[in-house]
Amino acid sequence: MIMKKKILILAPILVGLILAGFIFNSSVNKLSIGDTAPDISMASQDGSVIELKSLRGKYVLVDFWASWCLPCRKENLNLVRAYNKYKDTKFKDGTGFTVYSVSLDTDAEVWKKAIKNDKLAWDSHVSNFKKWDTQAAKEYGVTSIPASFLLGPDGKVIATDLFGMDLEIELEKLSLK
């Protein structure tokens, strides 16, 4: 009898939490293929500002990650491989590939150490150290990491969440080989 009362009391609460989660997730507008990616303008490791739009003309992977995110750190191995393979590639409508890494870290030293340890050789590493309150994550609809958006040379999204070998497969299709 006591168990039934607990269930009757908890059931509406659980339903409310589930609905609240659904409403929150459905209100997040994740960028879709064909959308023009919002510009991001954030501080780099040395404090200078790097604008995403400065990379137009190249294929760019906008990568949301953090040093504390183990799946992100594992995915960094794939990003390094793809970057090294395609950074100087001639594509059908652009030359080169790079990564614009947006960190959701809160500690600058831990972030910089992760960049060094994971051998993230590209220049565009940015963070404002606000974790999930980062405006770029909100504008891109990022609710979990790793999250990525492959942009064409015109700044439009051509693919999202390319993990493992998927990024290399996509870049290979776009190359002039």
Q: Could you report the per-residue pLDDT of 78-105, keeping only the tens digit for each?
A: 999 999 999 999 998 888 999 999 999 9
What pLDDT does residue 20 have?
40
Answering whether pTM is above 0.85, one says: no
Q: Do residues 16 and 80 share a domain?
A: no
pLDDT of residue 152: 96
The per-residue pLDDT for 94 is: 81
Asked if pLDDT for residue 14 goes beyond 80, the answer is: no
Query: Are residues 42 and 125 both part of a single domain?
Result: yes
Position 60 scores a pLDDT of 98
Cα distances (Å, whole numbers) of residue 162 to 35, 101, 124: 17, 14, 19
Q: Rounded CA gap, 173 and 147, in Å?
A: 21
Number of domain units in the chain: 2
Domain of residue 92 covers: 31-174
Cα 54–60–61 angle (5° rounding)? 130
What average pLDDT is seen over the chain?
88
101 and 161 belong to one structural domain: yes
